[in-house]
Structure 1
Amino acid sequence: MLIIKWSLLYDAVCVALANLPLFIFFLVTGKLLYNKFVKVSVLLLFTLINTFLILLNTVDIFYYPFHLQRADADLLYVLRNPFVNGTWNVLLTTLAVFIFCCCMAWFVYKGILKMIQSGTPVNHFLPTNILLIVFIGLFYFSGSKKIVPTYPLTALEPVQLPVAQNSLHTFIYSLYRKNETALPAANYMSSVQQQSLFSIHKKNNAGASSKKNIVLFIMESVPFEFFDSSSRYKVTMPFLDSLVNKSTYFTNAFSFSYNSNKGITAILAGIPTITDIPLYHSNYTSISRTSVGQVLAKNNYSSSFFIGDNYDDFGFAQCCKWLGIQHYYCMEDIPGNQQMEKHSMGLQDEYVLNFMQQKLGTLQQPFFAVQYNISTHYPFDIPKLYIDKNPKPSTTEPMRSMQYYNDCLRHFFADAAKQDWFNNSVFIFCADHWAQPDSKNIKVDEVGSFRIPVFIYDPGREKKVRISTPVSQLDIVNTVLHFSNFQDSMISYGINLTDTLLQPHRIVYNKINNTIYQAINDEYVLGFDAVEGKALYCYAYQKDPEKKNNLIGQSALPAIENIIVHIKAFLQTASNHYRNRGK
C-alpha cells in the first residue's frame, strides 16, 4: 500500500508540474486567451506535453522489465532498432500504443478545451501563482546549479523507488544530467587506503606462452540458468554442453548491469558505466582507459567485431572505434543480406557466423575477433527453417532461441576446426547481461539476476575445470590481453581469469540502477545506496536463498564490514576516475 500511495502522489505531482505553465498562462493572458490562434496553440502545446507524459509511462510497461528502472536518457540510444527491424509483433504493439496515445490525446484535448471555455476567475489562481513565482525566482537566481533529486524523501526503500517514480520526471532529469556521472563524488576514505583496497592500475602476472588467436563470443541476454544443470531452465544444447565439459567454466560469474550498452563497455574496456547514457556517448570518452584494439595492434594483432544488426545500432560501432578495434562488420557488410531471413534485431546468427568464418580465414595470425550474437535477444524470433526441422518442445521462447544459437555455433566450430588457425586459438564466452529465462514468469533476484555464463575453451588444452571464485565481466579484457602475451600495465576494474591467485572470497560489483550498487562474494550480497552513502541490505545468500534475513542493522559482522569498506573503495575509485578522467 505504501508503494501505491507514493506512486499516486508522485504521478499527481508530475502532472501538476507539467501543467503549471498552463495555469500561469491562464492567469496572465486575460482576454488574449480567447484569441483563436492563441487558444489553438495552447491546446496543441499542452495536449502534446500531457500525451508525452502518458506515452513515456506507457513505454515503461514494456521497457521496465529489461531495464529495471524508469525511463532515462539511455532510452534514446535503444529506440532505433525495434523500429528499423521490427517484426509484426513489435509493429502491432507500437501501433496499439500509438492508438492508445491518440485516444488519450483526444481526452486531454477535450479536457483543456472545456477548461478554457468554462473560464475561471483570475483571483482563484493569483495567490498560488505569486507564491510559485517567488520560489522559482529563489531557485534560479540563488547563484548555484541545482540538481533536483529524482526521489522524494519518503518512507520508501531505494530498491522500491523505481516502481513509484514517474517516467516523465526520471527521463527529463536524466536528460538534464546525461553528461554527468550518476555517481556523486565519494570521499569515504583516504586515497592511500582506497588504492590499497581497489586499484584500476593492473598488470597480468604472466602472459600466455605464445600469442593466441582470440575469439570472444558475447552472448546476448543469456542467463546462467541455461547452463545450470540444477535449473528448470537448463537448455538442451549438446554442442555447447560438450564444449563446456572441456573448458574452464566459472560457476559464479556476474554481469555489471542489466544493459547491453553497459555490458559491452564492461567486457571490452573493463570499465563500469556510471553515467545514465552509454559511456562511449558521454562527455567521459576521454577517460583514461586501455583501448584493447590499439594495445593489440602494437602487439601485431588485427581486431574485428561482427554483429548482425544495422551499422552502429546501440552505438556499438562508436564503442569499437573508441576502443581502437580496427574492423566493424554488420548486416550491411554481408553479401546477399537482403535475401537472408532476419531477426527483429537484424540478421540471424547463422549468417553472421558464416561470414565471420570466411573473414577469419583471410586474416593474418594472430587476430582478435568478437562476435556479438542477436538471435537470443527478445522477441526470440528464430528462422522458420529451424522451427520446421525442430518441432517446438516444451521450452520457453528464450530457451528455444538458445537452442538455435547452439546449432549455429556447432556449425561454426565444425568448420573452424578444419582451419590452420584453430589449434592456436582460444575461445572466450561471456553473456552481456542476465535476462529472464521465462518471459511469462518474471522473477528478479539480487544475486540470480546478475549471474551469467562465462567459460574459456582452448583446443590445445582441452580439460574440464570448474572455478567457483566470483568473477565478473570486468575481468574479460584482462584475460584477452593475457592470451595476447601482453605484460605491460593496463587500466581495468577486473583481473585476469587465468590467474592462479584468484581469491576464493573475492568481491565483484553490480549496478542495479543509478542509485544502488551491489557487492557480491561467495557468501554475501550487499546493496549500497551510493547517494546516501550507506548499506541498505546484506544477505547470506547461500544459507538464505530467499533473502529474508537482512543482516544490516544486526550485530556487526567483520565479514560484512569488510564488504562495506570494499564497495566504498570501488565507488570512490570509479567516482574519482570519471571526474578526473583518470588523471
Structure 2
Amino acid sequence: MKRFPRFEEYKVVFYRILLAYVFYTIARLLFFFYNRNLIQIDGVTDIVSMCYHGLTFDTASILYLNLLFIVFSILPLRINHSKKYQGFLFYLYFILNLLGYATNYVDFIYYRFNFGRSTIAALDSLKHESNKSLLLINFLFHYWHVFVLFFVVSYAWIYLYKKVSLQNESSHKGITYFGTSVVSFLVIVTLIIGGIRGDFKKSTRPINLIDASRDVKNVSQADVVLNTPFALIRTLFSNNFKKMHFVDETTINTLVQPIKQYKNNPKSKPNVVIFILESNAKEYFGSFNKNTKIPNYKGYTPFVDSLAQHSLIFTNAYANGYKSIHAMSSVLAGIPSFKDAFTSSPYPKQKTESLVSTLKSEGYATSFFHGAPNGSMGFLGYANILGFDHYYGKNEYNNDDDFDGVWGIWDEPFFQYFNTTISKEKQPFMATLFSVTSHEPYQVPEKYKGKFPKGDVNIHQCIGYTDFALQQFFASAKKQPWFKNTIFVFVGDHGNTIFYDEYKKEMNKNVVAMMIYKPNSNLNGESTTYAQQIDLYPTILDLIGYEKPFRSWGRSLVGDKQIQPFVIRYSSNLYQFMSGNYSCTFDGNKVIGFYAKNDKDLKYNLIAKRNPEMNQIELKCKAYLQDYMARVMDKKLAEH
C-alpha cells in the first residue's frame, strides 16, 4: 500500500508539536507543586481534570508560538529535507517555544504575589523599573531552583526533539506531491484557526482567560488550567475596558451614588498622612486577628497593635487590586483596578478628581514619597497625573548608603526622611508614603539581623522591621507641632506570602490591614463591616467636613448611612461583589454564582436558590461596573 506522499514529514511535525504538549503539562504540574498551598483540590482527580481542561489553552499557546514553524515545516519546498533547512526549523522552533515556555516558570514564584497568571500588565509594570538588572540578579539568586528546573526540562525537550528527524531525500514526486500539499495545507490552517479560537463554533468568541473558570471546582484552579504564554498573548493587544448597558441612570444614582456629598462633620483642616504599606496583609497583624480563632496564631506588628488600641481599625478590609500601582489609584483617587490596571490602560491620562485635587482645592500642600528609584512601579507618572506638588524618591533621598541593593531605601531611614521633609511643609498638608522593605528579597538591614522574628514565611521579619520603622517615625513625629492635628491612615497595598490556611481561602487572599488614627480623638474601635481601599478617599473628606459634591465609587466608613457596606474586586478572572449576606461572581455579562458571606472558599454556589437580596446585589454589581466603565472611557472622572 502506497503511503501518503508527505506522511513522514507530517509525522515528524506532529511529533514535535506533541512534545510541546508534554512539556506544557509538565510546567502545569510544576506550577501546581510550587503553589499547592494556594490551589484548593479534593484529590488527584482534580489535578487530572485541570490538566485535561488545560489542553485547550495549551493548544492556543502552542499554535500561536509555532505558527511560523508549522508553516515552514509543511511548505512543499524541495529543500525541506536538507540538513540546513532542518537546522533552521530547529532554531525557529526552540527560540519561540522556550521564550514562551519560560514565562510559566516565572509564574511558579510570581503567582504567590498576584494570585493570578501574569498578563501583559506585568510587563507594563516592569518597564518602569530602572533597576531591572538588580531585580533579575535577585530573582536568580533566591529562586535558582526554578532556573535549574527550566534548563533541565529544556535540555530534555531538545534531546527528545532530536530523537526523531527527517531523512534527507533528494526529490519529491511532482504534481501528486504538490497537489496533496495544497489540500493538507488548507486542512491544517483550518485546524490551527479552530485550535487558537478554542473551538470551531462561529457563534462563540475565541477563548479567553475567563474561560478557564468554566470547568473547575474552585476558582483558584483556573490558574492551573491556564498557562502563562496564553495569558500574555491574549492580553497583548487587548483593551478590556468596555461599555456595559445593564441599568438606567436612575438605578445607578440610587444604588451606586457615584457623586457623594457629606455633611456629617464641621469643616476643619487637619493634616493628612497616608501610609500605603507594601504587602501588609491583614494576616500579619495581631490586632486584626483577635477574633479569627486561628490556632497558635502569631502576629508581627507590636507597634501597630499598640496604636490600634487608640485607632479605628477595619478588620474586614480588601484591596481593590493586586499590584502596588493598583493601590495608589484605589486609595488616592478611589479608582479600583479589575481585569486590567486602570493605570496601564489607555485612560489614566485624564483630569481626575481625587483626594489630591480636592485637598489642594482646600489649600493643602501635597507630596508623595517612595524610596525606590524614581519612576519605579509607575508611581511617579501617576503622581504627576494626580497633581501632587512634590514627589520624593530615591533620587531626592540622595544617599545610597541606605539603599537595600535591590528595591530602594530601607524603610527606617526613609521614614525618618519622610518626617523631616513633611515637618518643613506649611500646614495643612497631605503626604503619602509608599513603603518598600516588605518586598522581595525580604531582607532587613545588617544591623537588625536577628532583631525581628523570622516567623514562618519569608516576609514575616520584614513586616516586623517595617512595624519598627513606623515606631521610630512616630517617636520623631510626636515631637513636631503638626502631629496632634493630623489624621494618620494605614493601609496595605495587597496581600503577599500566606501562611495560615484561613488566608488561603479565595475571599481572604487579598484582605489587608486598614486603620485610621488621630491623636486625642474619638476615632477608635473595631469595625467588622465590609471596607475597601476606595473607601478611604470619601472617608477622609467626610472626616474633614468637605462640603462640596465629589466623585467617589467608595463610601465614607464613618458617616455614610445610605450606601450599604460593600466590596468589589477582581480575582480568578471574575468580578466579585460582596454585600449584605452574600457575595456574587460576575463574568462581565452575567452572574455565575452566589455564595453565603461566610463561605470564604466559594464552595457552595447558591445561584439556584435566588432570593430578593441576591437580585439586589446583582443589580448593584452591574450598576457599579456600568458607571465605572462609562466614566473611565468617556473621561468623566472629574465631572459631577
TM-score, normalised via structure 1 length: 0.87
| Matching of residue 28 in structure 1 with residue 58 in structure 2 | no
- Greater shift in the superposed pair: 108-117 or 556-565: 108-117
**CA shift digits 1:442-477 (9 cap, x unpaired):** 953233223222111111415532223312111112
Task: Name which of 536, 549, 558 aligns with 2:612.
Answer: 558
1:447/1:525 contact within 8 Å kept: no
Partners of 1:308 and 1:346 within 8 A in 2: yes
Deviation at 1:376, TM superposition (A): 1.9
Rounded to whole Å, the distance in 1 between the matches of 2:323 and 2:51 is 27
Task: Answer yes or no: is the 8 Å Cα contact 2:366–2:390 preserved in 1.
Answer: yes
Q: Are 1:510 and 2:569 matched, yes or no?
A: yes
What does residue 221 of structure 1 align with?
A: 279
Aligned to 1:75: 122
Q: Deviations over 1:466-515 (max 9, x none)?
A: 22331211111223334555322222211223316376x522211114x4
CA contact (8 A) 1:310 1:330 kept: yes
Assess if the C-alpha contact under 8 Å between 1:51 and 1:104 holds in 2: no
1:347: which partner in 2?
409
Please state how far the C-alpha of 1:62 moved relative to its aligned partner.
1.2
Alpha-carbon displacement from aligned partner over 1:315-345 (angstroms, at most 9, x marks no partner): 1111111111121111222132x21251642
CA distance in 2, matches of 1:22, 1:116: 15
Distance 1:95 1:469 in 2: 43
- Supply the distance in 2 between the matched residues of 1:83 and 1:282 (Cα, whole angstroms): 22
Deviation digits for residues 221-246 of structure 1 (CA, Å, limit 9, x no counterpart): 11222231244544143321221111
1:121-177 superposed Cα distances (whole Å, 9 cap, x missing partner): 86776534213446889999xxx9x97331559644682432201211210110110
Q: Hey, what does 1:521 align to over in structure 2?
A: 579
Are 1:540 and 2:633 an aligned pair? no
Match for residue 400 of structure 1 among 439, 444, 461: 461
The reply on whether 1:474 has 2:534 as its aligned counterpart is yes
AA matched with 2:53: W
Identity value in percent:
24
Alpha carbons 1:476, 1:496 under 8 Å: kept: yes
Partners of 1:502 and 1:458 in 2: CA distance: 25
The RMSD of aligned alpha carbons is 3.3
1:256 aligns with 320
Q: Distance in 2 between matches of 1:204 and 1:125?
A: 73
Post-superposition shift, 1:412? 0.6
Check 1:96–1:452 CA distance in 2 against 1; reply closer, same or farther (3 A cut). Answer: closer
C-alpha spacing 1:412/1:47, structure 2 compared with 1 (3 Å): same
Cα distance, 1:270–1:104 mapped onto 2, change above 3 Å:
same
Structure-1 residue corresponding to 2:559: 499
Matched, 1:237 2:319: no
Question: What's the offset of the Cα at 1:99?
Answer: 5.4
Q: CA deviation at 1:404?
A: 1.3
Matched residue type, 2:249 = S
Say which SS state the counterpart of residue 536 (structure 1) adopts: strand
Which position in structure 2 is the counterpart of 1:382? 444
Q: Which residue of 2 aligns with 1:360?
A: 422
1:209 is matched with 267
Structure 2 residue aligned with 1:55: 102
- 166, 183, 188: which one aligns with 1:127: 183
Q: Secondary structure at the match of 1:199?
A: coil
Q: Aligned residues, how many?
A: 566
Q: C-alpha separation between the residues in 2 aligned to 1:170 and 1:326?
A: 38
Q: Is the 8 A contact 1:222 1:432 kept in 2?
A: yes
Structure 2 Cα separation of the partners of residues 242 and 250 of structure 1? 15
> Larger deviation: 81-90 or 215-224?
81-90
Task: Please tell me whether the aligned partners of residues 280 and 496 of structure 2 are also in contact (alpha carbons under 8 angstroms).
Answer: yes
Over 3 Å counting, the alpha-carbon distance change for 1:298 and 1:41 in structure 2 is: farther
Whole-Å separation in 2 of the counterparts to 1:472 and 1:228 = 17
Partner SS state of residue 186, structure 1: coil
Distance 1:252 1:218, change over 3 A: same
Residue of structure 2 in register with 1:279 after alignment: 342
2:366 is paired with a residue of what secondary structure? strand
User: CA distance change for structure 1 residues 437 and 60 in 2, over 3 Å: closer, same or farther?
Assistant: closer
Residues 280-336 of structure 1 deviation map (CA, whole Å, 9 limit, x = unaligned): 232112456314333332322111111121111111111111111121111222132
Distance 1:97 1:466 in 2: 43
Q: Does 1:167 align with 2:238?
A: no
| Greater displacement, 63-72 / 351-360 | 63-72
Give, in whole Å, the separation in 1 of the partners of 2:303 and 2:146.
Answer: 41
Structure 2 unaligned segments of length 5 or more: list them. 1-47
CA contact (8 A) 2:335 2:342 kept: no
1:317 aligns with 2:372: no
Question: CA 1:34/1:507 → structure 2, altered by over 3 Å: closer, same or farther?
Answer: same
- Please state how far the C-alpha of 1:393 moved relative to its aligned partner: 5.9
Cα deviation, 1:24-82, whole Å, max 9, x if unaligned, reads 21232513446777655443332211001210111111122222222211120344658
Partner of 1:10: 57
1:438 aligns with 2:490: no
Tell me, what secondary structure is at the counterpart of 1:55?
helix
- Give 2:323's aligned amino acid: N
Change over 3 Å in CA distance of 1:380–1:95 after alignment to 2: closer
**2:634 aligned with 1:580:** yes
Q: What CA distance in whole angstroms lies between the structure 2 residues aligned with 1:561 and 1:396?
A: 41
- How far apart are 1:394 and its partner, in Å? 4.9
Q: Secondary structure at the match of 1:45?
A: helix
Unaligned 5+ residue runs, structure 1? none
